[in-house]
Structure 1
Amino acid sequence: MLTIHGVPLSVHTRKAIVTAILKKVDYRFEVVIPVIPGNPPANWSTLSPTGLIPVLQDGDFTLADSTAICLYLDRKQPAPPIFPEDIRDYGRVLWFDAYAGGTIFRHVVHPLFVQTIVGPNIRNVPTDRAVIDDVLTNVQPKILGYLESQIAGKYLVGDTMTLADIAIVSNFIVYQYLGFEIDASRYPKLAGYLREIAATAVFQRALADERPFVDQMGLKRGFLSAA
C-alpha cells in the first residue's frame, strides 16, 4: 500500500490524495504536522529533498512533488486517466497544473494563507492587511478573469476530470476555507465550475477525510453546503 505524507489542508497534498482516490489506488495517509512550524521529523530530509510536502512512498521508492506523484499514479493505475489522449488537450492540462502551482498558489493562496493562518497562529506575527488587500485588489482579478474565460463546460479540459481540475480546485478549496469567496456575479462560470467539481465524489471523500483538521483550525466550510 502506498503512503502519502503531508498535511490535510495542503493544496499539494490534496492534489495527490484526490488523484489516488479517483484512480482507486489504496493508500495510507501520514500526517506530517511538524512541517508547518518548520520542525520536520528526523528523516524528513531523506523523504523530501526540498523539505516540502507531499511525499509518496511506494515500497522502497520515494517521490516528492505533487505533480510528479500524480504522474506516477497515472502510470501505476492508468484508468481513469488524468490526462487526455489529444496532444493539445494534454498540453493544456499540463499548463493548468503549472498555472495552479506557479500562479494561483504562489500569488494568491499562499500569501493569503500566510497572512491569515501561519503568521498569527504559528509564527505569532500579526496579519498584514496591506498584503491581503494587494492580493485581492491587484493580483486576484486578473487570475479569476483568466479562469472565467477558459471555462466552457463542466471540466477545464475535455469531458472528464483531469489533473487540471484537481490542481485548480484544490487551490480554491483552501482559498474558500480561509473565508474568501468567488464573486458569482462577476465570475459566474468559475463559481459554478468550482462548486460542481467540489461536489464530485472524489473531492467529497477527500474533504470529508480532512474535515477534523479543518474544524480544529476553525476554518470556513460553509461554501461546501452549496456544492
Structure 2
Amino acid sequence: MITIHGVPLSVHTRKAIVTAILKKMDYKFEVVIPVVPGNPPANWNSLSPTGMIPAMQDGDFTLADSNAICLYMEKKQPAPSILPSDVRDYGRALWFDAYAGGTIFRHVVHPLFHQTVVNPNIKQVPTDKAIIDEVLTNVQPKILSYLESQIDGKYLVGNAMTLADIAIVSNFIVYQYIGYKLDAAKYPKLVKYVKDIAATEAYGKALEDEKPFVANMGLDRSFLN
C-alpha cells in the first residue's frame, strides 16, 4: 500500500489521489500542511526535499512531486493507463500536464489561492487586491481562451481520462472552491468539460473525500451540485 502525504484540497495532491483512485490502487492518506508551523512530521525533509506537497511512500521507497508520483503509479499499475498509446496524444497529454502546473497553477490558481485564502486566514496578512485584479483581468483570459479552443469532446486527449484531464481539472476545482466562477457564456466548452471530468467515478470519489476539508475551510462546493 502506498501512502500519499499532503492536503486533499491541493491541486497537486489531488492529482496523485485521483490517479490512485482511477487505477484502483490501495493507498492511504496522511495530512501534511507545510504552511502551518509545526504541522509537517519530523521526517518531512526526507519525504519531500523541497518541502512541497505531495510526497509518497511505498514501503521503504519515497518520492516527491505530483508528476513523478503519478508516473510512478503508471509504471507500478499500468491499467487503466493515464497516458495514451498514440504518440501524438501521448505528447499532448504531457503538454497539458505541464501547462496545468507551469501556467494555470503558477499564474492563476496559486496567486488567487494565496490572496483569497492563505494570506487572510493562515498568515493573517492583508489580501493584495491588485494581484487578484491582475490575474483576473490580464492573465486569466488568455489561458481560459486557449483551453476553450483545445476542447473537442469529453476528454482533452483521446477517448479516456488521462493525466492531462486529471491535472487541468484539479486546478479548476480549487479555482471554484475559493469562489471564482468560470463564465459559461464565454467558455461553454471549458465549463462543460470541467463539470464532466469532475463527475467521473475517480474524481467523484476524491471530491467526496474532500468534503470535511472543504467544510472546515469554509470553501464553496456549490459548483459541484
TM over 0.5: yes
Counterpart of 1:79 in structure 2 is 79
Could you tell me the TM-score, scaled by structure 2's length? 0.98
The residue type equivalent to 1:7 in the other structure is V
Counterpart of 2:23 in structure 1 is 23
Counterpart of 2:36 in structure 1 is 37
Q: 1:8: Cα distance to partner? A: 1.2
- The answer as to 2:217 corresponding to 1:212 is no
Q: 1:76: Cα distance to partner? A: 0.6
Please give the per-residue CA displacement for 1:140-163, whole angstroms capped at 9, x wherever unaligned: 000000000000000000000000
Secondary structure of the residue that 1:5 maps to in structure 2? Answer: strand
The residue type equivalent to 1:87 in the other structure is V
Secondary structure of the residue that 1:173 maps to in structure 2? Answer: helix
Q: 1:203: Cα distance to partner? A: 0.6
C-alpha distance in structure 2 between counterparts of 1:41 and 1:116, whole Å: 27
Secondary structure of the residue that 2:69 maps to in structure 1? Answer: helix
The residue type equivalent to 2:42 in the other structure is A
Q: 1:37: Cα distance to partner? A: 2.3
Counterpart of 2:197 in structure 1 is 197
Please give the per-residue CA displacement for 1:22-46, whole angstroms capped at 9, x wherever unaligned: 000000000013x122543221101
Counterpart of 1:109 in structure 2 is 109
Counterpart of 1:96 in structure 2 is 96
Counterpart of 1:61 in structure 2 is 61
Question: What are structure 1's unaligned runs of at least 5 residues?
Answer: none
Q: Post-superposition, which runs of at least 4 consecutive aligned residues in structure 1 deviate over 4 A?
A: none
The residue type equivalent to 2:12 in the other structure is H
C-alpha distance in structure 2 between counterparts of 1:210 and 1:199, whole Å: 14
Secondary structure of the residue that 1:4 maps to in structure 2? Answer: strand
% identity of equivalent residues:
75
C-alpha distance in structure 2 between counterparts of 1:85 and 1:123, whole Å: 45
C-alpha distance in structure 2 between counterparts of 1:91 and 1:97, whole Å: 10
C-alpha distance in structure 1 between counterparts of 2:66 and 2:37, whole Å: 19
Secondary structure of the residue that 2:83 maps to in structure 1? Answer: coil
C-alpha distance in structure 2 between counterparts of 1:5 and 1:196, whole Å: 27
Counterpart of 1:183 in structure 2 is 183
> What count of residue pairs does the alignment treat as equivalent?
224
Counterpart of 2:121 in structure 1 is 121
C-alpha distance in structure 2 between counterparts of 1:213 and 1:190, whole Å: 26
Q: 1:17: Cα distance to partner? A: 0.2
Question: What are structure 2's unaligned runs of at least 5 residues?
Answer: none
C-alpha distance in structure 2 between counterparts of 1:151 and 1:169, whole Å: 13
C-alpha distance in structure 2 between counterparts of 1:174 and 1:36, whole Å: 17
Q: 1:73: Cα distance to partner? A: 0.4
Secondary structure of the residue that 1:88 maps to in structure 2? Answer: helix
The residue type equivalent to 1:37 in the other structure is V
